[in-house]
């Protein structure tokens, strides 16, 4: 890191109350503690929501150890459908709900084999990935009346893949008005149904063939 600053930077006094952030909005206690400890930086109009509990997820705590360094996509097929949130199983590929969904019903189509890149799929995996993606869209339309979908994959960490070592295709159902104040301003996603209930609903609507 660079050399330490000559002295602590003390935020300038503001006309609003000391426990207020931008536009006089009250700041959470954690934000007040962090901002009042002093240090280098320039104040701006953004508020910070400090979430140290998320560090457990970042560090991978509570993940079951296993082959491929505990890759969740390698562990999930060993679980029951209910425990692993598996919606459907094929011979080379399976469909599973996302544990951190963008929308209710957000699922992923994943090859059983631990493979990172789309070009590394064999013919069976390539074909069944397309078939299960099509069936996922059909099931979500039946189960929830989805009006549209975001379908695709992020290949590589720089492209935004959360688990880059194991390829997975996202299928995200969309509805008019599903992007509103909560995710855009509040940075909070409101999900009206528990994951296990959602899994069962989609599994029941899953087509047996095309």
Instruction: Return the active site residues.
Output: 168
Nearest-angstrom CA–CA distance, 168 and 91: 16
Euclidean distance between CA atoms 94 and 108, whole angstroms: 8
SS3 at position 79: coil
CA 134 centroid distance within chain: 22
The residue with tokens 């006094």 is 13
User: Tokens at residue 126, please?
Assistant: 């390539």
* CB neighbour list of residue 138: distance below 8 Å, 6 or more residues apart: 205, 207
Q: CA distances (Å), 86 to each of 80, 124, 140, in order?
A: 8, 20, 14
* CA–CA distance, 22 with 19 (Å, rounded to integer): 10
As a whole number of angstroms, the distance between CA 35 and CA 12 comes to 12
Q: What pairing do the DSSP bridges indicate for beta strands 93-97 and 86-89?
A: antiparallel
H helices present in 14-153, as ranges: 29-36, 55-58, 67-70, 72-75, 81-84, 123-144
């Amino acid at each position: 890191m660079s050399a330490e600053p000559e002295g602590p930077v003390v935020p300038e006094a503001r006309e609003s109350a000391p426990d207020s952030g931008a536009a006089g909005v009250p700041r959470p206690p954690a934000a007040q503690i962090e901002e009042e400890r002093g240090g280098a930086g320039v104040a701006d109009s953004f508020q910070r929501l400090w979430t140290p509990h998320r560090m457990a997820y970042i560090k991978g705590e509570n993940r079951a150890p296993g082959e491929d360094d505990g890759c969740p996509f390698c562990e999930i097929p060993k679980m029951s459908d209910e425990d692993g949130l598996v919606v459907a199983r094929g011979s080379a590929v399976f469909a599973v709900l996302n544990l951190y969904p963008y929308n209710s019903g957000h699922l992923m189509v994943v090859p059983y084999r631990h493979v990172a890149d789309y070009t590394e799929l064999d013919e069976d995996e390539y074909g069944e990935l397309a078939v299960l993606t099509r069936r996922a869209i059909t099931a979500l339309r039946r189960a929830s009346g989805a009006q549209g979908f975001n379908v695709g994959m992020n290949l590589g960490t720089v492209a935004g893949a959360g688990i880059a070592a194991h390829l997975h295709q996202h299928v995200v159902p969309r509805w008019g008005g599903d992007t509103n104040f909560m995710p855009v301003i509040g940075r909070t996603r409101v999900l009206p149904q528990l994951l296990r209930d959602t899994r069962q609903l989609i599994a029941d609507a899953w087509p047996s063939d095309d």
